[in-house]
Amino acid sequence: MGVGYSAAHRFRFGYFTVIFRVLGLAFSIALAGCHFQTDPPGEAPTGVAVAPGDGRAIVSFDQQPDLTYWIFFQPGSSVAPAAPGVPILRGAASPQVVANLTNGTQYAFVMNATRDDSSAGPSSAIVTTTPRLAGASWVSGAALGAVPQNLNGLAFNGTRLVAVGNSAAVFAGDYNYASTSPPGVTAWLPPTTFPAGFTSNLSGVTYGNQFAALAANGSTLTSADGLAWTLVANAIPSAGMNAITVGAGLFVAVGDGGAIFTSPDLLVPWTQRGSVPTTTEDLYSVSLLNGLFVATGANGTLLTSPEGANWTARNSNTPNALRGAAFAALTGGPRYVVVGDAGTIVTSADGITWDSPVAPPLAANLTSVVFGSRFVAVGQGGAVAYSDDGLNWTQTTAGTNDLARVLFAPGMYIAVGSAGANVVSK
C-alpha cells in the first residue's frame, strides 16, 4: 500500500514548487538580459572629415562593418551628442550626405557608434565646415563611351540623368551626390534596349512623363527609365532639329531655318508653328521659363510664346548667336538670362523687353545656362561663368572640352560636351 500525504503537506510542496519556478524564470530573464547587452565600442569613430557642398555636406569616416554610426550636427562651432534639439542622422554610411543646410553658415559635426544593442561609445573630435554655392570649382569624369561621341543634351527626372549625343549615343546615370568616380552619378550605363539600326545624331533630350530624345533628322525616341528606348512613329517632318523641351502639356522642338514644331503627345503628329514676324534664322534652344516659352538662335534671334503655338520676335540688342536661356525668381525681382557667342549675356525682367548685353565675363562662346542656386553658363573650351544676380559674372573653367549643355541636380551642376565630356560642380 502506498505512502499517503496529508493535505497540508501537499499544499506546502506545491507552494515551494511555484516559488522555485518563479525564481528560476526571473533568474533566466536576468541572465538573458546580461547575455544580450553588448559592450559599446571602445574607441571613437576615426578618420572623420567633412567636405562642404551646396546646401549640404559630405561626412566621411572609417566605417567598421559591425558598428552603427550616428552623426550629430548643428550650426556653430560646437555640438554635443544627444543634446536636446541637436539633429541626428542615424545609421550613417561613409560617405554620408547631410542635406538641408544653409549656405554661408558654419556647422559643427560629431560622431559616435553603437554595436548591436549597446550604448554609444566614445565621440569623435568635432569637425566644422561651411556649405557654399556650387559653380566655382569643377571636376571631370572619364569620357563616356568606348569611342566617345560629342554629347549634345542632358535631362534629369529627379533620380536619373540621361545624356545624348552624336551617332545615337545615350547614357543614363543614377544621381549620386557623394560619388566621385564618376562624379555625381553611381555609374553611366548604355541602353539596355535600343531601336535596331538607329544611328542618327541626337541633338537634345527632355523629361516630362518620360524621357524624350530628339534627333537632328526629326526622329524622336522615348524611354520611361532612360535605359529602354523606343522609336516614335511620328517623326518631325524637317531636318536640322536642334532642341526640344516639354511643359504646359506640350512638347516643343526647334531647328534650322526657324523651324518650330509642337505636339501635345509624341504619339500625336507634330504641328509646324510660325513666329510673328516669321524668322528664317536657325534656332538653337527652346525652354519653358516661368510660364513663357523662350527660343534663341542665330544673329541675336530671340522668340517668346505664352503657349508654344504663337511666337513673337523680341529685340535682343545683340547680333551674336544666342544659344541658351534660364530664369530665376531672385530677391531683387525676376530675371531671365540668355547666353550666346563671344560671351554674350542679355537679361530681362519679364522675358519681353530685353536689356543691353552685360559686360561679357569671357570671350568664349556660351552654349547653355541654368539656374540652380545661382546662374551657371558653360561653353567653348570648358568655359564657365557664374553669377548670383545675372548681371555680375565670374569666370572659371571646367576642363578643356567644349560644353554643350548644363543642368542642376540637387546640390550640383553637371555639364556634358565634346568627346564624351562630363563635368560636375558641387
Distances (CA, A) of 270 to 75, 235, 251, 263, 294: 53, 8, 9, 5, 19
**139/100 Cα distance (integer angstroms):** 23
Positive or negative, the Cα torsion across 11, 12, 17, 23? positive
The pTM score is 0.90
Residue 366: HSE in the Cβ half-sphere, 13 Å Cα cutoff = 34
Rounded (5°) CA angle 415-140-226: 50
Reading the chain (426 residues) residue by residue, the pLDDT tens digits are 344 444 444 434 444 443 434 334 443 434 344 444 789 999 999 999 999 999 999 999 999 999 999 999 999 999 999 999 999 999 999 999 999 999 999 999 999 999 998 999 999 999 999 999 999 999 999 999 999 999 999 999 999 999 999 999 999 999 999 999 999 999 999 999 999 999 999 999 999 999 999 999 999 999 999 999 999 999 999 999 999 999 999 999 999 999 999 999 998 999 999 777 779 999 999 999 999 999 999 999 999 999 999 999 999 999 999 999 999 999 999 999 999 999 999 999 999 999 999 999 999 999 999 999 999 999 999 999 999 999 999 999 999 999 999 999 999 999 999 999 999 999
Q: What 3-state class would DSSP assign to 209? A: coil
Q: Strand 302-305 relative to strand 310-313: parallel, antiparallel, unpaired?
A: antiparallel
Per-residue cell: 130:
561651411
CA distance 145 to 168: 11
DSSP secondary structure string for all residues of 130-198: ----SSS--EEPPPSSSS---EEEEEE-SSEEEEEEGGGEEEEEEEEEEEETTEEEEEEE--SB--TT-
How many CB atoms neighbour CB 186 within 10 A? Answer: 13
Cβ-proximal residues to 196 (8 Å cutoff; 6+ apart), any chain? none
The CA distances from residue 229 to 172, 194, 198, 297, in Å, are: 11, 5, 11, 29
